[in-house]
Amino acid sequence: MSKDDNTELSRQTSSSRDWLIGVAGWFFPGAGHLIQGNWWRALLMGGTVWIAFVAGIMMGGRLFRYSGTEEGMSSLLQIPPMIANLGAGLLYPASWLIGVGFTDDPQLAARATFEYGTTFLLIAGLLNYLCMLDAFDISAGRKP
């Protein structure tokens, strides 16, 4: 094995610190880049996720969860959007704890911004998955 191969291998092997940064980035949007001292990136990417999530909640959006109480296959249909929502990390259980976003309130559902809010909540989680992977890759040396 040549020196170049060894360098390449060490670059591809991720340490526990990289995983910790990835998990931190998922749990608290922006934290993955913040730990690495990448303030601008943390502010830009983490801020985007926070803005999308808070805007989604303010628009009356709904967070998905698997309850198992729906009839037939309806319960299973809750799982993919729930995975998207879970991407927001801490914000998902925090919303559950304070009782925001999980209520099946017909008045909220009747709002003109309800669908937009739900979509914003979904993209907040999905964008945070991207941020988490970005923070992990930078920490592992796979990205500049």
Least distance from C-beta 55 to another protein, angstroms? 7
Instruction: Find the farthest-apart pair of alpha carbons in the chain and give their distance in angstroms, rounded.
Output: 66
Task: Determine, following the binding rule CB under 8 A, whether residue 41 of this chain makes contact with another protein.
Answer: yes
- 140's tokens: 């592992």
Q: 54-93 burial, b for 16+ CB within 10 Å, e for fewer?
A: ebbbebbbbbbbeeeeeeeeeeeebeebbebbbbbbebbe
Q: How many residues bind another protein (CB under 8 A)?
A: 19
Residues contacting residue 37 through CB under 8 Å, at least 6 positions apart: none
- Counting contacts by CB under 8 A, is residue 144 touching another protein? yes
| Alpha-carbon distance values, 129 to 28, 81, 88, 119, 125 (Å) | 11, 13, 8, 16, 6
Distance of closest approach, residue 66 Cβ to another protein, in angstroms = 26
Q: Which is nearer to another protein, 1 or 112 (CB)?
A: 112
Q: Report if residue 44 touches another protein, rule: CB under 8 A.
A: yes
The answer to whether 49 contacts another protein (rule: CB under 8 A) is yes
Shortest distance, CB of residue 109 to another protein, whole angstroms?
Answer: 17
55 scored as a contact of another protein (CB under 8 A): yes
Give the interface with another protein as residue ranges (CB under 8 A): 41, 44-45, 48-49, 51-52, 55, 113, 116, 119-120, 123, 127, 130-131, 133-134, 144
